[in-house]
Amino acid sequence: EAQVTQNPRYLITVTGKKLTVTCSQNMNHEYMSWYRQDPGLGLRQIYYSMNVEVTDKGDVPEGYKVSRKEKRNFPLILESPSPNQTSLYFCASSLGLQSYEQYFGPGTRLTVT
């Protein structure tokens, strides 16, 4: 089944404790991206990747890192999480950005205390 998977689905952590949210897709997609969703602000892009070893900042990259060492995986790293990073995070992938359908993962709900 074609899908985007994220782990963990739920995470409660404390300020400053490094964490990684994994994202994997099985559709051989080149384009992958991370979003956060907050009430009243909608979905905002954090980082995106056009292909392996190619990543770029989205609208809200501060406090986040990503890597794209292989095509299927695009982990999101929070080196020192803070309470303002409490949010619902989504990973997405597609064949490309333009003219291609975007597939979303189920989301990761992160709480930083």
Q: Which of 48, 64, 74, 85 binds other proteins (CB under 8 A)?
A: 48
Q: Which of 24, 33, 85, 93 binds other proteins (CB under 8 A)?
A: 33
Q: Which of 1, 69, 99, 113 binds other proteins (CB under 8 A)?
A: 99
# residues contacting other proteins (CB under 8 A): 26
Closest residue by Cα to residue 93 from 67, 74, 108 = 74
24 vs 33, beta carbon nearer other proteins? 33
Order of strands across the sheet that contains 4-7: 4-7, 19-25, 76-78, 65-66
What the block records as the tokens of 26 is: 């099985």
> Is residue 45 a contact point for other proteins (CB under 8 A)?
yes
> Is residue 74 a contact point for other proteins (CB under 8 A)?
no
Q: What secondary structure does DSSP assign to 82-103, as a single string? A: -GGG-EEEEEEEES-STTS--E
Closest residue by Cα to residue 22 from 4, 44, 40 = 4
> Is residue 109 a contact point for other proteins (CB under 8 A)?
yes
By CB under 8 A, name the binding residues for other proteins: 33, 35, 40-45, 48, 56, 58-59, 90, 92, 97-107, 109
